[in-house]
């Protein structure tokens, strides 16, 4: 299964990515992990990415594209992969399409986790993060993992979340139309219990791969 996972912040992409990758026995590839691996290894791409971050700028598409292209040469993707956080815009989606076409390994599907903005704001503003172990929780005064104090992160405040959703609509949402036109898009509601969302996603994806 070669899969891209998309959706707005707060839709639970990270959680679903872990379950889906385990179910299909494929690597979960996130751009965050790729950045960290390149930075830690001090690769030329990592050094170039660091220069953008040091200036407080987003890493250029050209650098991100090369990092992802390199990651897709690893042996562990022989049976597929789940991309999370890439592509973030139509230009990146076109690059990914070209890379996979060259390998003759096109995507099987693009899974969109759909959630209304009001639900996202309510979900994220209720989230608290532990000061000690950094685990997120909802509706608690103490961390259920370690008993530490919890706090609301700046990016979990309503005004910040609203802006993040605006950025998503401007920059990332257009790839939904791109992949719909490609005939690859599958949309699953991200509202409900985690296990039910996973089951619905697997059911939809299995119909594609049959």
Catalytically active residues, by annotation: 13, 88, 127, 153, 164
Long-range Cβ contacts of 55-63 (<8 Å, 24+ apart): 59/35, 61/89, 61/91, 61/92, 61/95
Residue 119, token pair as written in the block: 């639900």
Distance, in Å, from the CA atom of 205 to the CA atom of 3, rounded to the nearest integer, reads: 9
**Angle between helix 117-125 and 158-167 (nearest 10):** 140
Provide CB contacts within 8 A for 66, sequence distance 6+: 45
Residue 39, token pair as written in the block: 């930075």
Distance, in Å, from the CA atom of 68 to the CA atom of 191, rounded to the nearest integer, reads: 30
End-to-end Cα separation, the chain, in angstroms: 11
Provide CB contacts within 8 A for 46, sequence distance 6+: 35, 37, 38, 39, 40
H-helix or E-strand spanning residue 207 = helix 194-209
According to DSSP, residue 85 is labeled: S
């Amino acid at each position: 299964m070669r899969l891209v996972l998309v959706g707005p912040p707060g839709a639970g992409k990270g959680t679903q990515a872990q379950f889906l990758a385990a179910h299909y026995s494929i690597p979960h590839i996130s751009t965050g992990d790729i950045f960290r691996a390149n930075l830690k290894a001090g690769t030329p791409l990592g050094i170039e990415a660091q220069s953008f971050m040091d200036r407080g700028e987003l890493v250029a598409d050209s650098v991100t594209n090369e990092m992802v292209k390199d990651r897709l040469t690893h042996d562990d993707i022989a049976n597929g992969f789940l991309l999370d956080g890439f592509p973030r815009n139509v230009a990146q989606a076109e690059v990914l399409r070209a890379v996979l076409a060259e390998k003759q390994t096109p995507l099987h599907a693009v899974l969109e986790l759909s959630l209304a903005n009001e639900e996202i704001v309510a979900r994220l503003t209720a989230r608290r993060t532990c000061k000690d172990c950094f685990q997120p929780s909802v509706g608690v005064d103490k961390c259920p993992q370690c008993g530490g104090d919890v706090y609301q992160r700046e990016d979990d405040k309503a005004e910040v979340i609203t802006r993040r959703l605006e950025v998503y609509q401007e920059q990332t949402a257009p790839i939904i139309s791109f992949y719909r036109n490609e005939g690859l898009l599958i949309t699953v509601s991200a509202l409900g219990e985690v296990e039910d969302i996973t089951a619905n996603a697997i059911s939809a994806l299995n119909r594609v791969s049959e």
